[in-house]
Amino acid sequence: MDCYKISLSFILLAAGFLNACLPVNEDMGNKAPEYFVPVPSSSLQQEDFPQPERNYLSKEGVELGKTLFFDPGLSANGKVSCAGCHLPEKAFSDGLALTNIGVSGLALHRNSPALFNLAWHDGLFWEGGANDLESMVFGPLTHPDEMAADLNKVLQYLNSHETYPQQFQEAFPTDSITSAAVARSLAQFMRTLISDDSKYDQWKREEASLTSEELKGYEVYKEHCSSCHKEGLFTDLSYHNNGLDSSYPDPPELEGLYQGRYRITYKDEDMGAYKTASLRNLYFTAPYMHDGRFTNLEEVLDHYESGIKTNGTLAPQLENGIVLNAAERTQLLAFINSLNDYNFITNPAYQK
């Protein structure tokens, strides 16, 4: 759901529209939360399930968002849905380095990120160009290389549909279907995509045991990986330059393609920095990195051992690389595999 051409100004405009036109508890019949997603604190280490006051979850809103997520009718050619690049069986990633299934047929410049545990994220896209799910939705929905939707035509499609008008009325008691309601319902569904039932989670809840190899891998993880991949979500929700490139060429036609978070913040320290991906569900979400350059986890570990490119904003944790012996590498991979959540990828609530 990320592509380098999405302008920050558009994302901010969308966010401003949502906040200005849909104040808390007004316009869309919003009320105190009545729909909660159970999240065991022992695994994700969060006491509460976060949801914005202006868009509390409801059963009707979540179900509507799910229907929209799988509906290619939102796209310009009627063939591309959100689920086209975010497949449940791949932890809502797509298994491709850079997909070209969008309306234009052109390859994107960012790997389609997995979608889970997003309720705790305060920055979306690889560079953090959107602050919340409600504003993020407009990026892939309208981008010419993704769904290329004309929002006016989307509303015409929804209003003339056999069932959508009633669904919107039930989810958001208003007189008309709006693009803001589309964004809110999609955001509600994506907030319910909770991955917290891996073998690791069951171990934390004392419902299962890790093998000796997995336990040794857990110690390797804590020593070498936990500073950026913090236990629980297994990401620090921040942005780091992990030495993928040594320089950041920026011809005008590339529009900041190589600059990472810098193209959002214009802070020198963010040059070449990308969001820390979660270690959860990596078995399902290859290839890896923002551009999908590594096809498997062995290649990822090779990079951190001997492939890091020295540059001016390299994360200090990586200045000496991450060197593991053969046993430690095997143990770490065993622990990482304990983070794969098979119940998440087969959950009927997330299927079409």
HSE on the CB side for 53, CA within 13 Å? 5
The pLDDT of residue 266 is above 50: yes
In angstroms, the CA 168 to CA 163 distance is 9
Q: Tell me the percentage of the chain whose pLDDT exceeds 70.
A: 86
Is pLDDT above 70 for 195?
yes
**Helix and strand tally (H, E) in the chain?**
14, 2
pTM comes to 0.89
Domains, the chain? 8-195 (1.10.760.10), 199-345 (1.10.760.10)
User: Which residue is listed with tokens 């590594």?
Assistant: 294
pLDDT digits (tens, 9 = 90+) for 173-193: 887 899 999 999 999 999 999
DSSP letters for 251-313: -GGGTTTTTBTHHHH--GGGTTBEEPPPSTTTTTS-SBSTT--B-SHHHHHHIIIIIPPP-TT
Q: Half-sphere exposure of 199 toward its Cβ, with a 13 Å CA cutoff?
A: 13
For residue 276, pLDDT beyond 60? yes
Residue 236 has pLDDT above 80, yes or no: yes
Alpha-carbon gap, residue 35 to 51, rounded angstroms? 10
Q: Residue 74 is which amino acid?
A: L
Measured CA to CA, the distance from residue 148 to residue 77 in angstroms comes to 8
CA distance 122 to 208: 32
What's the mean per-residue pLDDT of the chain? 89
Mean pLDDT of 153-162: 97
User: Is pLDDT of 222 > 90?
Assistant: yes
pLDDT band for 31, please (50, 70, 90 cuts): low
Taking residues 244-264, report their average pLDDT: 84
